[in-house]
Amino acid sequence: AAVEGVVKEAALAAALTALMILLFLGSWRATLIVVISIPLSILVSIIFLNTLGMTLNVMTLGGLSLAVGILVDDATVEIENIHRNMAMKKPIVRAIMDGAQEIAAPAFVATLCICIVFVPVAFITGAAKSLFVPLALSVVFAMMTSYFLSRTVVPTLVHKLLAGEAQHFMHPEQQGTKGPFARFHARFERAFERMRDAYGGLLAWALTHRIRFIVGFAVFALGSSSLLSVVGSDFFPSVDAGRIKLHVRGAPSTRIEQTEHEIARIQEVIKAIIPADEIESMIDVLGVPYSGINLSLSEGALISPADGQIMIALKEHHAPTADYVRAMRQKLNESFPDKTFFFLAPDISTQVLNFGLAAPIDIQVVGPLGSDEHYAVARKIADKVKQIPGAVDVHLAQVPRGPQLRVDVDRAMAARLGLTQRDVASDLLVSLSSSGQVAPNFWVDPRGVQYLVAVQTPQYRNDSIEALAQTPLSSAGGGTQLLSNIGGVSRAEGPVNLTPYNVARTYDVQCSVDGTDLGSVSAAVREVIEQMKPELPRGVSVNLKGQAESMDTSFRGLAYGLIFAVVLVYLLMVVNFQSWLDPFIILMALPGALAGISWMLFLTHTTISVPALMGAIMTIGVATANSILVVTFANEQRPLGFDSYHAALAAGMTRLRPVMMTALAMIIGMLPMSLGLGEGGEQNAPLGRAVIGGLLIATVSTLFFVPVMYSILRTRVAKHDPDVEAL
């Protein structure tokens, strides 16, 4: 369902983008030429992904959906420029050649800039890298294909399909009666020209009052960026998968029959919270997994017969799952104070990101074996974490004390009877846990199916300590002795489960997050750890593990990678422009992009996450590409005798249409994704929102701030080119 939702989003984005291009170009033939690059680029990208052994999944399809809005960029800019040359009454072939040649270099640099900004993905570590490298590659392959098509297929199709339009430009008096759409497009063009004139007036004012405009824009950008400190951060956004996984832990040594009875009582409370018509299924898993394979594929929370898990699947049209979880958490803790309740990750994405742990935040307390001080530190940390706002389901993963039976063997007596401590332990293990644990035997039926053959004393026979003491022990000499002859059985206390880390004993304080973001809770947990460090006993250390640790590592890698990508983009443009100044002017659009991202995340209550940062990366690429168009055109005006003021004004006025078309295509293409309506759509929604918010302000920055900075920094008088002037 999630894959289907992403495909629908991509198709809707393509349709909306096509309508926007049709509105601007006013020609279905031109729109067809532009839109045809979308499926061709996506198909080529899929071929490359398949060659690299990747699959079509939510992430690769999300990357292709992300690319839909920008795939039309190269073709749109080229056709718009060809239209501009046609308006100069050039022959069709000359208009195509000149229009394609004028934007070949800037379009290539712009495409490379968009591809280069995905370099930071290589700096992500862990599971996030496996998720987002395919997404980045799908975008890069599609973008490079789009540029190749704009150099080859697009000019050919323009020559075949737009020859009639060229004749209209050459002989406007021969145009026939206009249809309804033509009249609508004419009104749109008049409205656009009025907006263009208004924009020219505003840009002229900004160029005249440059210092005042720059100070105001700088204050706005810096103030907007401060919003990032209040939006919070998550590794990945939470997804409402319609699944609930509740873990119930009773008193140690509770028999599995009693656990089953208690789980039935808990289910009645759950059914009173969740309406029956919204429950698709409710499955219980009780006790310890019966095999090592099952144990390795779980979170390891089922540690004894006192443990149980209730897995609830909700029907398609259900109320928000998080509301039910909060209600269950409150009601169950009130109704069953003697039990420990905590919710586990029900969806596969969160399970992967938790790296096999039962919670996104895991405070690992490592210390010497059997130390009471070690356990006291873990309990104290748990008590402090419970006071952190937003921290829920705080519990200790280990149960350090539970009733046990202790067998004390008289080793001297056992040796005289030909028995060792190992013999006693092995025979007891066979009797109580079956021979499958010590010496597994298998029987293969004629069909080739293996069956484990195990011998075990029936559990109902071991109903007392006296019965256990009658366990027969076989000696090496062939004789048989009873356990009571060489040892005694007594009651004791001991740990229900042990979790070693590099041999040392560990206690894990685990907690989840509700009603706030993971970043704020993990920051508060770190403060607790720092406060506890001076009080730690000798040999005890505390570390933060889980999703919180991976989030910090990935964010750090993305931040370094983003800086590296901006430097790479800058150096690429230095080589292209043969100037250190022009690339600096082009990058002036980026503060606006950051401000737009900040405002969009703040207004939509979206936290900073890896998908949101991926959207920020994409925004940087597109904003840079649009700025290249403006600065390139301004540079072309300097040899014609324009000073920096008039060159900047002409660049803004002329490049207004392609810049707006590129930005609007990306924004409209991201609208379906930003709404997050499909199954699992919450995962990619921050990406779409970051792109939309960043481009909204980055486009304003490109059309105003970049020309103003150009007029200030490009004060050197350009040399006149007689050939250019003659042309």
Determine the Cα–Cα distance for residues 622 and 615; give it in Å rounded to an integer. Answer: 11
Q: Which residue is associated with the tokens 């006291």?
A: 376
- The per-residue pLDDT for 441 is 86
Amino acid at position 712, single letter: I
Determine the Cα–Cα distance for residues 448 and 244; give it in Å rounded to an integer. Answer: 39
- Give 400-412 as a DSSP string: --EEEEEEEE-HH
**Phi and psi at residue 340, in whole multiples of 5°?**
-105, 125
CA dihedral of 687, 693, 698, 701, whole degrees rounded to 10: -170
Instruction: Check: CB of residue 236 under 8 Å from CB of residue 349.
Output: yes
- The per-residue pLDDT for 382 is 92
- Give 481-549 as a DSSP string: EEHHHHEEEEEEEE-S---EETTEEEEEEEEEE-SS-HHHHHHHHHHHHHHHGGGPPTT-EEEEEEHHH
3-state helix, strand, coil in the chain (%, to 5): 65, 15, 25
Looking at the chain, the number of H-run helices and the number of E-run strands are 29, 15
With a cut of 50, list the residues of the chain below it in pLDDT. Answer: 171-177, 717-727
Tell if the pTM clears 0.75, that is, is over it: yes
Contacts of residue 258, defined as CB under 8 A and 6 or more positions apart, other chains included, come to: 250
Determine the Cα–Cα distance for residues 582 and 570; give it in Å rounded to an integer. Answer: 9
Determine the Cα–Cα distance for residues 443 and 445; give it in Å rounded to an integer. Answer: 6
- The per-residue pLDDT for 614 is 80
Determine the Cα–Cα distance for residues 479 and 450; give it in Å rounded to an integer. Answer: 33
- The per-residue pLDDT for 310 is 92
Determine the Cα–Cα distance for residues 405 and 70; give it in Å rounded to an integer. Answer: 69
- The per-residue pLDDT for 177 is 46
Determine the Cα–Cα distance for residues 618 and 597; give it in Å rounded to an integer. Answer: 11
- The per-residue pLDDT for 169 is 52
Q: Is the dihedral of CA 668, 671, 672, 673 positive or negative?
A: positive
How many other C-beta atoms are found inside a 10 Å radius of the C-beta of residue 152?
A: 10
- Give 325-393 as a DSSP string: HHHHHHHHHHH-TTSEEEEEP-SHHHHHHTTT-SSSEEEEEEE-TT-HHHHHHHHHHHHHHHTSTTEEE
Q: 492 - beta bridge partners?
A: 404
User: Model confidence over 113-127: pLDDT tens digits?
Assistant: 778 777 777 677 666
- The per-residue pLDDT for 24 is 75
Determine the Cα–Cα distance for residues 447 and 677; give it in Å rounded to an integer. Answer: 49
Instruction: Check: CB of residue 598 under 8 Å from CB of residue 228.
Output: yes
